[in-house]
Amino acid sequence: MAVHPQTATNPAMHTMRICLVGDESHAETLMNMLHAMDGVAQVEVMPPPRARFGDGDGDAGDAVSHIEVAVNDGAAARRIRTVATSTAILLDATAKFVDRFDTGNS
């Protein structure tokens, strides 16, 4: 499910990581929806990973936004997964839950 305990700050807090494929407005819409949900402590867009040397122009298609969501508990995490997946479908985008964001290094 890609939910990770945050033991340093709050033992009950979890972090979910979402790769959203779509344009910037899709990411903003999803983030606004997540901010409004019960059980969400923080929503943050992470900086894009460094591009690998020689990967081309990097401008082929939709952008990928890396979104981290800090949630209070497992029930909130399940709600976030449902809302993020449904919202992505409505926006004609794709949401993928990951354990960590790909840094682009092989």
Residue ranges in 5-50 assigned as alpha helix (H): 24-35
Cα separation, 2 vs 52, in Å, equals 25
Q: What is the DSSP letter of 101?
A: -
Cα separation, 86 vs 80, in Å, equals 10
Cα separation, 57 vs 100, in Å, equals 24
pLDDT tens digits, residue range 55-99? 444 455 678 999 999 999 999 999 999 999 999 999 999 999 999
- Mean pLDDT for 10-15 is 77
pLDDT tens digits, residue range 16-57? 999 999 999 999 999 999 999 999 999 999 987 665 444 444
pTM to 2 decimals?
0.76
Cα separation, 38 vs 91, in Å, equals 22
Domain ranges of the chain: 1-46+72-106
